[in-house]
Amino acid sequence: MTKDDTTHVRAHGASSKRKRLGRPAGNINQRENILDAAEVDFSQRGYAGTSLKEVAASCGVTQALITYYFGTKQQLFEQVFLRRAMLISEERVTLLNELIDGKEANVRDIVRAFLLPLVALRKTDGGRAFIRLQARLHTEPPEISYSLRSTAYGDSTDAYVEALRAALPGLPAKDLYWRVTMMIGAYLYAFSDTHRLDVLAKGACDPWDANETLEQLTNFIVGGLEAQASASSPASAKKVAKPKTTRPARAA
């Protein structure tokens, strides 16, 4: 037996007797299973309405295991959100870069690139749960929601703002910021499974038709972005002539 063989046997023997450290034994996908279950629970009940005990029950593990992997409930919530949000942001940047590579992009194409990653998410149960979770984020405590939103979407949203600014050179910055914010609100509502369209349309529309949803939402957002500048914007505000003043005649 060579020295290397001896070393190998000793190392193997030592590892078989020593208590194993690190990740608990079990399913290698356990961490992802916890994230999946927490995603559904948080999307249905919100941050305040969901406990680690409930998440543990949903995925069939102990609360201690969740704490081992993620720490606090807030840390779990953050990991649940960022898992998909960062991928959405990266995909948006990729699509935008492909769109503006050496050419000018129009408003419609920019809007479609912004929406496409969310359209793809709606095709899976987990993706739909995330979209509901994202829609709820705006009602969560500011100390949680503000930093998460900024971390996930800050850079990519800024890139889309600049692309739209280039595509809409005559639109005042004030109007652009308002309209991008309303674009985000529109897609969050349209994609969050509120069933409002079912009630209003009484079967005339299919909210699960991905192509129809993308087309209708794109038309709506593009119409808003390309609308006339608001009267309150500096570039479009009408200049009001100052009233003429007459100086009193000097005393003789």
Domain membership flag for residue 51: no
User: 234 pLDDT band (50/70/90 cuts)?
Assistant: low
Inside any domain, residue 73: no
Burial (Cβ within 10 Å: 0-12, 13-18, ≥19) of residue 105:
middle
Contact predicate 100/7, CB 8 Å: no
Backbone angles phi, psi at 87, to 5 degrees: -65, -40
- 12 falls within a domain: no
- In the structure, what pLDDT confidence band is assigned to residue 235 with cuts at 50, 70 and 90? low
The share of the chain scoring above pLDDT 70, in percent, equals: 81
In a domain, 173, yes or no: yes
On whether residue 25 sits in a domain, the answer given is no
Q: What is the identity of the amino acid at 214?
A: L
Per-residue pLDDT for 143 more than 60? yes
Per-residue pLDDT, averaged over 196-218, amounts to 86
92 or 14, which is more confident? 92
In the chain, the number of structural domains is 1
CATH of the domain at 98: 1.10.357.10
Question: What integer is the mean pLDDT of 97-109?
Answer: 92
Distance CA 61, CA 138 (A): 30
* Residue 56 located in a structural domain: no
Distance of CA 40 to the CA centre of its chain: 16
Tell me if 200 is assigned to some domain: yes
Q: Chain-wide mean pLDDT for the chain?
A: 83
Check whether 210 has a pLDDT greater than 90: no
Kind plus residue range of the DSSP H or E element containing 148: helix 142-167
User: Is residue 39 one of the residues assigned to a domain?
Assistant: no
Domain extent at residue 218: 82-225
pTM, to two decimals: 0.77
